[in-house]
Structure 1
Amino acid sequence: MAEADGYDQDMLNSKEKTKVMEKVRIHEKDTGSAEAQVALFSEEIIRLTKHLKKHQKDNSSRLGLLKMVAKRKRLLDYLKREAPKRHASLVKKLDL
């Protein structure tokens, strides 16, 4: 049923994840740095927001979106505290 309403298309596949992380990764195989995680969360947030505009009553997705936004905020706060230059660079690259 998820495929019928297009939700599976809203989720990132591995090729899309790689493409999103290319802009911010520290080295070629970087997938776990704070920058890479923030980039992925940002893309997922954009996609989930579009989904919720179409499906306003999808409260479980809304809760997931709120959790994702909170995680991204914590990671950005961490980066700002530990590496202000990397934080500024990331915010500029992702237009946050």
Structure 2
Amino acid sequence: MYLSKEAKSEIFKKHGGAEGNTGSAEGQIALFTYRINHLTEHLKKNRKDFNTERSLVKLVGKRRSLLDYLMKKDITRYRAIIKELGLRK
């Protein structure tokens, strides 16, 4: 698999809080962003891979809903994760 256990735990340590909380919205958004970037690179090389394209669209929707949730709950955490991951241009 493209994402090892160590890499995943590193993402959660960096974005999930002090103890690497895997359930935090920031950690989940960071993991989805990593997976979205990986699938985007794959689709640049394999443009007819429609199953991957569908998975990518589903992941983007999940990330969007988590971002909407975070924006409603705590706007400062939302702005921090957007800035940290560079999601807005």
TM-score normalised by the chain length of structure 2: 0.91
Q: Give the deviation of 1:23 after TM superposition.
A: 2.3
Distance in structure 2 (CA, Å) of the matches to 1:13 and 1:65: 19
Report if aligned partners of 2:9, 2:20 keep a CA contact under 8 Å in 1.
Answer: no
Q: Give the deviation of 1:35 after TM superposition.
A: 0.5
Report if aligned partners of 2:25, 2:66 keep a CA contact under 8 Å in 1.
Answer: yes
Distance in structure 2 (CA, Å) of the matches to 1:93 and 1:24: 9
Structure 2 residue runs without a partner (length 5+): none
Q: Alpha carbon RMSD of aligned pairs, Å?
A: 1.1
Distance in structure 2 (CA, Å) of the matches to 1:49 and 1:29: 26
Matched with 1:22 is: 13
Q: Percent identity between the aligned chains? A: 41
Structure 1 residue runs without a partner (length 5+): 1-7
Q: How many residues align?
A: 87
